[in-house]
Amino acid sequence: MSQVTATDLYEVTMALSYVREDMRAPATFGLSVRDLPPGRGFLVAAGLEPALDHLSRFRVGGGDLQHFAEALRCPVADLEPLHGLSFDGQVRAVPEGRIVFAGEPLLEVTAPLPQAQLVETYLLSLVCHQTTVASKAARCVLAAAGRPLVDFSLRRAHGPEAGMQAARVCALVGFAGTSNLAAANRYGIPASGTMAHSYVEAFGSEEQAFRAFARTRPGPVTFLVDTYDTDRGVATAARVLKDLGPGPGCGIRLDSGDLFALARRARTALDEAGLRDVQVIASGGLDEYGVDALVRAGAPIDVYAVGTKVGTAADAPYLDAAYELVEYAGQPVMRLSSAKVTAPGRKQVHRGPGLRDVIGLANEEPPEGTEALLRTVMRGGLRTEPPDTLDAARARFEADLAALPEEARRIDRPVAPVPVVTTRLSALTTVVRHRTEARTRAGR
């Protein structure tokens, strides 16, 4: 079974209908987020690279037709018009790592209508999940205020592939490492990890566990010190580390309890033992809110490991996103249903200083002093440039984050910038609305 079948059933039905009705004219669909989730002052565009990989490989084969036919309870021959359909359209998109806001298209797909329709579900899944997690992780970066962050989310992610995506986008926004070995290998992210409480429990004492771990683990070691009594665990770790003669990068990890108080006591104990270079690492249910509170309180924590709440974007786990038809056969179209009105036509987002954005039509002259966010990344079903890198995406993110207004950067009650719509786009929206309403009244 190929990724082609990872779609909603109605996408297949619609695409087949378009082919049978000979509705193959170019269609443009725009993928955008209607409203930011609660507690968000911005989003970080992510998921484009795997989306382009998917489109590059997209082709409906015989096996796909078989699965479609089984789902639709019809003969395979009925679906033969879809056989061999591949994506040969154009994609304009916001590069990964750019900060974006509500109402702005993250990408636009222009292709023959059946193609553009059939890729909808997979594109939404890739872009929405990764943008959601990247945006949560970016807020952790803000909260950590320069302290390293490590992704620990795989074991609590919504499936292994979701964990892979989370590790990737965490690295994209600047995380220092991941516990996910597969992601570390696939994306070139530093692998990081310590030990579990079960490891300590399997030995007769903490000291035995720590010494055995140090004999097995090459390089710097980090000891988990809160399996039993945390203060005693820190003292034991300090004793073992002194015997080992710790090199750079060794640490102790706190995973539960009052992390502020425990970190202060641990730091004091390590310093008194002459282990000033040993790091204090904190984990255990942390996200940007917990990290922000600890940083503001002055907790002597060197590294934060975040997992469950970040990998699942627990406080805002989805985006109110849509993939809407905005143009078909050269004519702008729009949706009028309540609370889900769309603006017609192909668009461009022009960014000015301070991330002041203007949304206009794709063929409008850009306002002076702005840059265009959407760029052509695929034409004729082929990439227009080599695959992007995490380093390049991270550089874009860091530049945008530095320019983001302070009120949008806040962890508590952020205020998101609101893009401005050009006069031409507003005028087109009015014209198309009136035309669509008139056709609706006339029953056409």
Secondary-structure breakdown of the chain: helix, strand, coil percentages, each rounded to the nearest 5: 45, 20, 40
What is the model's pLDDT at position 245? 83
Query: Quick one: 438 exposed, middle or buried, by C-beta within 10 A (0-12, 13-18, 19+)?
Result: exposed
Q: pLDDT tens, 218-230? A: 789 999 999 999 9
Is the residue at 59 inside a domain? yes
Percent of the chain predicted with pLDDT > 90? 93
Q: Which of 287, 311, 335 is the last residue of a domain?
A: 311
Taking the C-alpha atoms of residue 225 and residue 222, their distance in angstroms, rounded to an integer, is: 9
Residues 6+ apart with CB under 8 A from 275: 238, 241, 242, 246
Taking the C-alpha atoms of residue 265 and residue 254, their distance in angstroms, rounded to an integer, is: 11
Q: Is the confidence at residue 341, as pLDDT, over 80?
A: no
What is the model's pLDDT at position 81? 94
- Regarding whether 72 and 167 lie in a shared domain, the answer is no
- Regarding whether 342 and 297 lie in a shared domain, the answer is no
Is the residue at 344 inside a domain? yes
Q: Which of 311, 342, 360 is the last residue of a domain?
A: 311
- Regarding whether 342 and 306 lie in a shared domain, the answer is no
Distance from CA of residue 88 to its chain's centroid?
A: 26
| Structural contact between residues 23 and 82, judged by C-beta atoms closer than 8 angstroms | no
- Regarding whether 341 and 257 lie in a shared domain, the answer is no
What is the model's pLDDT at position 442? 78
- Structure-block tokens of residue 394: 């991270």
Is the residue at 273 inside a domain? yes
- Mean pLDDT, residues 314-323 taken together: 96
- Mean pLDDT, residues 349-373 taken together: 96
Q: Is the confidence at residue 338, as pLDDT, over 80?
A: no
Confidence of residue 395 (pLDDT cuts 50, 70, 90): very high
Please state the pTM of the whole predicted model.
0.95
- Regarding whether 348 and 212 lie in a shared domain, the answer is no
What is the model's pLDDT at position 94? 98
- Mean pLDDT, residues 373-392 taken together: 97
Q: pLDDT tens, 66-86? A: 999 999 999 999 999 999 999
What is the model's pLDDT at position 227? 97
- Regarding whether 397 and 323 lie in a shared domain, the answer is yes
Q: Which of 263, 282, 311 is the last residue of a domain?
A: 311
Q: Is the confidence at residue 409, as pLDDT, over 70?
A: yes
What is the model's pLDDT at position 217? 82
- Mean pLDDT, residues 111-115 taken together: 98
| Structural contact between residues 307 and 325, judged by C-beta atoms closer than 8 angstroms | no
Q: Is the confidence at residue 436, as pLDDT, over 80?
A: yes
Q: How many independent structural domains does the chain possess?
A: 2
- Regarding whether 351 and 285 lie in a shared domain, the answer is no
Q: pLDDT tens, 250-309? A: 999 999 999 999 999 999 999 999 999 999 999 999 999 999 999 999 999 999 999 999
Confidence of residue 1 (pLDDT cuts 50, 70, 90): low
What is the model's pLDDT at position 247? 72
| Structural contact between residues 377 and 63, judged by C-beta atoms closer than 8 angstroms | no
Q: Is the confidence at residue 444, as pLDDT, over 70?
A: no
- Regarding whether 258 and 328 lie in a shared domain, the answer is no
Residues 6+ apart with CB under 8 A from 112: 24, 25, 26, 27, 88, 89
Q: pLDDT tens, 159-204? A: 999 999 999 999 999 999 999 999 999 999 999 989 999 999 999 9
Is the residue at 409 inside a domain? yes
- Regarding whether 337 and 262 lie in a shared domain, the answer is no
Is the residue at 336 inside a domain? yes
Q: Is the confidence at residue 340, as pLDDT, over 90?
A: no
Q: Which domain holds residue 223?
A: 146-311
Q: Is the confidence at residue 373, as pLDDT, over 70?
A: yes
- Regarding whether 82 and 45 lie in a shared domain, the answer is yes
Taking the C-alpha atoms of residue 202 and residue 240, their distance in angstroms, rounded to an integer, is: 18
Neighbours of 55 (CB within 10 A): 24
Taking the C-alpha atoms of residue 196 and residue 209, their distance in angstroms, rounded to an integer, is: 11
- Mean pLDDT, residues 145-163 taken together: 96
Is the residue at 140 inside a domain? no
Neighbours of 410 (CB within 10 A): 15
Is the residue at 191 inside a domain? yes
Please report, for the domain that includes residue 171, its CATH number.
Answer: 3.20.20.70
Residue 178 CA: distances (Å) to CA of 140, 154, 161, 167: 14, 9, 14, 6
Confidence of residue 439 (pLDDT cuts 50, 70, 90): confident
Please report, for the domain that includes residue 17, its CATH number.
Answer: 3.20.140.10
Selection from 403, 422, 397 nearest residue 43 by Cα: 397
What is the model's pLDDT at position 188? 97
- Mean pLDDT, residues 52-67 taken together: 96
Confidence of residue 10 (pLDDT cuts 50, 70, 90): very high
Q: Is the confidence at residue 244, as pLDDT, over 90?
A: no
- Regarding whether 189 and 122 lie in a shared domain, the answer is no
- Regarding whether 323 and 307 lie in a shared domain, the answer is no
Is the residue at 138 inside a domain? no
